[in-house]
Amino acid sequence: MSPAHRKFLSEAASNYLGVAKLFNTCGYARRSRRAMAQRLCEEGLMRRYVHGSDEFEITDKGRAALSDSEGR
């Protein structure tokens, strides 16, 4: 798991809803962050919080992966 993946998962884990949002980015940065979030969704670590929005919710598998990577 890359540092960027850990940071995005950590943002979601620290939020009481378990949600990370794509915000304060535009253009290439927003596109790359969305691609990263999509990859985390494909791996089962996150899922879309609301369909069509820029919010992604961390899953139990994502929390386990995050705690496992922090423990190393």
Per-run averaged pLDDT (10 residues), the chain, 72 residues: 86 85 75 88 90 83 85 58
What local confidence, expressed as pLDDT, does residue 27 receive? 75
| The token pair that represents 56 in the structure block | 């992604």
Total residue length of the chain: 72
- What is 3-71's CATH topology? Arc Repressor Mutant, subunit A (1.10.10)
At 25 the pLDDT is 66
pLDDT score at 45: 93
Claim: this prediction has a pTM higher than 0.85: no
pLDDT score of 70: 66
Per-state percent for the chain, helix, strand, coil, to nearest 5: 55, 15, 30
pLDDT value of residue 60: 93
